Structure 1
């Protein structure tokens, strides 16, 4: 059998022209020629065709930019004074730009998408009121929005975090007190400079000792070169032992009598060992998806990567990434940035205003824009900046662990994580997640778990979490055997393709859901999405968009009953196949128009002119 191919049982195979084993490529959802051309141009963010070599297939990596996005015009919004129906307090906003004609709004809104509002049925009150696309289920004969008698506003609130108006004003007016983080940065700089000076002095002393011993021994001839090398090696070992013992006394931002940062030998606030962690996944790792993964057994979750600068500017869309559902018992926020002052200030404001259990620093992000600005994986080669960041953030609080997520390095042929990881532990990190690929590799090639094990051996007390290419219980067992020093496992794309992987690992057996069960999983996600983003038109379309983004990974799941040699491997491309029923065939399609059909079964018809292209090119095989 040819490697890289997932072979399907003969009875499920489809005829393939010219023996092509590739699955269907992702195509735009609409069939109009001009739309198709527009999307092709939007996806093409590389060099102009005239500069490209002819006949070469363009490599899919990064993101599809300039994609068409649903726009919800502000003038189509109903004024908040009419949300619960007519008869309330009149609008007092001068020159209010929203709609005040309730009958005209209801007529323009269109028919309801269903008979039951999930938010109203579970909470007892729908805050979207008349604008809800399921409004008839919670409005009376007079058109007034209803509340159930047992509705309790306190218990109905199931999420926390985000940004308050008061905090937003303070951040935008630069009125927030960041003296704590600024002090920690100064302490970290002082400690870094002292360590650098001590290292230089030690190097000079070692060189003097080497020269003196060489002169004393009289080793000058080439015949005694081997003894010379042995002597130098013994001196270096002695020096390394002294330097290591000195470094172990300086954890976090400890300067003589100054408050210490997190000590790796101290009992951690969060035990990261023997846990199943869900990766922070940009765009697709949203709150409704994390709820699904929690229900399947994920132990620790983390929000989508948030950039430090927009957080400090008080941007609501960035703070929305910090929102946490009540089911997430252990929840963290992942930060990204290129400046230690900015990152430490963002960490401080999160620590003081948000309900989180840990903060993670992303130094493995491969996105070009972030890398070119010196953030993400660029920090793996900016060790001075990284040291200040880790020392200052880890010293913020003994009750808030600071973790780091990294890759093997920037380049495929030059791994540096094994050198960086012990330094990060020395600087005070509570845990490190190792993704077994370089920035250059992105998601191509297999994750190098042998190298992850090599890195895990470098840690003395700090947990090291392995990440990469786990799609089944068998993969989990195999990777843990390859890397016995790894404390836990983090799962990213494997959870997107089959979120029940956490359940499989804990139960130590495969689960092959039917197409009906998988469709109900999509329905549950949509319900959670309507609760999170809202059940009005904007909320419905936001839910649709994120559902389609998830489906761009979900379609890659291949039921075990269809495979010749299960379990499925994450980068194995299947032969063209059909499912055991029509729904299973539809859910396995790589055609975006089929994904849109699935969304219409759950969220009603798409708006006129709607089209969809996945954001992440990593969704493809």
Structure 2
């Protein structure tokens, strides 16, 4: 069989001359069409100002569709809060209020309800969107007033974190006390400078090199040498030494007394996924068996400035029993400040640093994967953030390196452990590769074998239980596995791994999954017009990955591989064919069956080009 092709059973194939009845087009056809639209020449060349031919660098665009249209809702969707529960309440006391105060005009512009039942009202007993809800008739009385059930509990936990108005004011006025992280940065600088001086003296002195075996033999009988974070722990408790966020009680003399704040071993982790790894999606994955979840990548500077849109990425649902926040930045002071304010004001189990992000904008500013070559900055960041709390692990997610032919993770990973990281996640591709080629699990194993006590989490190309077993055998030193695109394509992969068998949902079950996602989205983003369209947008972004799932009954040689592309085929029923379509117009049709018709002028282009095929 040809490599990279996912062969479909003959009875489901579509003949070449019958393409009009097909809802799914091959990725090769889509690529050729896109190239024709971009006006590329046959040779893929362009002429410069001097008339000389040169290779067109735009031939292989990757990453994001940056020029996609962005839909903005109309003003009528914003009703003044004084009218949310209907007429008869307290009048608006805000001078020059910008929101709509004509309730009749608002209701006329809002249109008909999208359905007879409001999921938020049914599950909670009260819908905070009131008459602006697109399902308002299910929780309004004859007078148009919003109904609140007696059993409704305002203090019932649903989500936590985010930013309070008080904290936002303190951050915007620069009134938050960051003296602690500034002190930790200074200590990290001292440790870094001391390490550099030691490294410079060692080649000049033969005595220093001869002392190393003696130190190593002493380490065989005692716990690992204390890092800067461990030194902080021993300042308070002399009988304890630590490795990362693991505390070892030397009074008992037993390794069984190791008490990790978060156990990263033998777990299934959901990767922090930008845009698509939102709270409703994480709830779906938790229900299918994900052990540890992490919020979308949040940039440190907007967090420190108190921007609500960035703080929304830190929100956590009550079902996420082990939850972390991922930070990204290019300045150790800014990252440390963001880590401090998150540690002190939110409920998280760990903080993760992204040094593998391949996005051009992040990389060009010195953040993301650029930190893998800025080791001085990275050392200050890891040392200071790891020392913030002895019970809040600080982890790092990295790639193999910047370039495909030059891997550096095997050199960087032991250093990150020495600086105090509690765990490292290694994605088996370089920044240059993004998501093309196969993840290098042999290299992941090589790196994991270099870690002394720190868990190493492997990431890349797991789409089935068979993939999981194969990778675990190939990399026995890997402590756990993180799944990203595999969970986007089939979120039930966590269930498959834990049950040791494949699960093939019907098109009806997959549709119910989409309905559940929409309900979670309406609960999270709101059930008014703005919340409905926000839910729709994220549903369509997810559908740009979901359509790639191919039921095993249609494959000649399952399981499906994440980088393989299907031939032209149709599903076993109309819904399965529609769900398998790579045409975004078909995704919009699916959303309309769940969230009502799209607004006039609506168009959708996925954010992620997602080069899996």
SS in 2 for 1:166: helix
401-410 or 58-67: bigger deviation = 58-67
Q: 1:551 to 1:570 in 2, by over 3 A?
A: same
SS at match of 1:203: coil
Q: Give the superposition deviation at 1:23.
A: 3.7
Of residues 278-287 and 390-399 in structure 1, the stretch that sits farther from structure 2 once superposed is: 390-399
Query: 1:30 is matched with which residue?
Result: none
1:154 alignment partner, SS class = coil
Larger radius of gyration: 1
Q: Secondary structure at the match of 2:397?
A: strand
Give secondary structure in 1 for the equivalent of 2:548: coil
Please state whether the residue corresponding to 1:204 is helix, strand or coil. Answer: coil
2:273 — aligned with what?
281
Counterpart check, 1:471 vs 2:463: yes
Deviations 1:75-108 (CA, angstroms, capped at 9, x unpaired): 6411111000001001111111211111111001
Structure 2: 5+ residue runs without aligned partners?
39-43, 248-257
Q: Which one of 295, 318, 334 corresponds to residue 326 of structure 2?
A: 334
**1:195 & 1:56 partners in 2: Cα distance?**
42
Alignment RMSD, CA only? Answer: 2.7
- Show the counterpart of 1:167: 167
| Contact 2:121–2:127 (Cα < 8 Å) also in 1 | yes
User: Where do 1:235-250 residues align within 5 Å?
Assistant: 239=212, 242=215, 249-250=225-226
What corresponds to 2:565 in structure 1? 573
Name the residue aligned to 1:346.
338
Contact 1:431-1:462 at 8 Å conserved across structures: yes
Determine the structure 2 residue equivalent to 1:106. 107
Structure 1 residues 241, 539: closer, same or farther in 2, change over 3 A? farther
Residues 593-604 of structure 1 correspond to what in structure 2 (within 5 A)?
A: 593-604=585-596
The answer on whether the counterparts of 1:304 and 1:321 sit within 8 Å (CA) in structure 2 is yes
Instruction: Name 1:323's counterpart in structure 2.
Output: 315
- Correspondence for 1:146: 147
Residue 9 of structure 1 is matched in structure 2 by 9
**What CA deviation, in whole Å up to 9, does each residue of 1:27-58 have, x standing for no partner?**
9xxxxxxxx99xx78xxxxx997669689993
Kept in 1: contact 2:393–2:421 (CA 8 A): yes
Q: Distance in 1 between matches of 2:378 and 2:217?
A: 20
In structure 2, the residue matched to 1:252 is 228
1:390–1:424 Cα contact (<8 Å) kept: yes
From 12, 22, 25, the equivalent of 2:26 is 22
- Per-residue CA deviations over 1:201-232 (Å, capped at 9, x if unaligned) read 222113xx7xxxxxxxxxxxxxxxxxxxxxxx
Q: CA offsets, 1:484-523, max 9 Å, x none? A: 0000000000000000000000000000000000000000
Distance 2:217 2:483 in 1: 34
- 1:431-457 Cα deviation digits (max 9, x unpaired): 000100000000000000000000000
Q: Residue 618 of structure 1: SS of its match in structure 2? A: coil
Q: In 2, distance between residues paired with 1:163 and 1:427?
A: 30
User: Residue 60 of structure 2: SS of its match in structure 1?
Assistant: coil
Question: Does 2:255 match 1:263?
Answer: no
Residue 478 of structure 2 corresponds to residue 486 of structure 1: yes
Q: Deviations over 1:187-213 (max 9, x none)?
A: 11011111111221222113xx7xxxx
Using the size of structure 1 for normalisation, the TM-score is 0.89
Aligned to 1:615: 607
Secondary structure at the counterpart of residue 443 of structure 2: helix
- Please give the secondary structure, in 1, of the residue aligned with 2:71: coil
| Equivalent residue, structure 2, for 1:536 | 528
Q: Distance in 1 between matches of 2:333 and 2:236?
A: 19
- Superposed counterparts of 1:39-188, under 5 Å: 58-74=59-75, 76-155=77-156, 157-188=157-188
Instruction: Note the C-alpha offset of 1:339.
Output: 0.7
d(CA) in 1 for partners of 2:301 and 2:586?
38
- Mark the runs of 5 or more structure 1 residues left unpaired by the alignment: 28-35, 42-46, 210-234
Report the CA distance shift for 1:50/1:286 in structure 2 as closer, same or farther (over 3 A).
Answer: farther
**How do residues 179-578 of structure 1 correspond to structure 2 at under 5 angstroms?**
179-206=179-206, 239=212, 242=215, 249-253=225-229, 263-264=243-244, 266=247, 267=258, 268-578=260-570
**Residues 1:115 and 1:255: Cα distance change in structure 2 (over 3 Å):** closer
TM-score (norm: length of structure 2) = 0.90
Aligned to 2:253: none
| Contact 2:489 2:548 survives alignment (8 Å) | yes
Change beyond 3 A, Cα 1:25–1:349 = farther
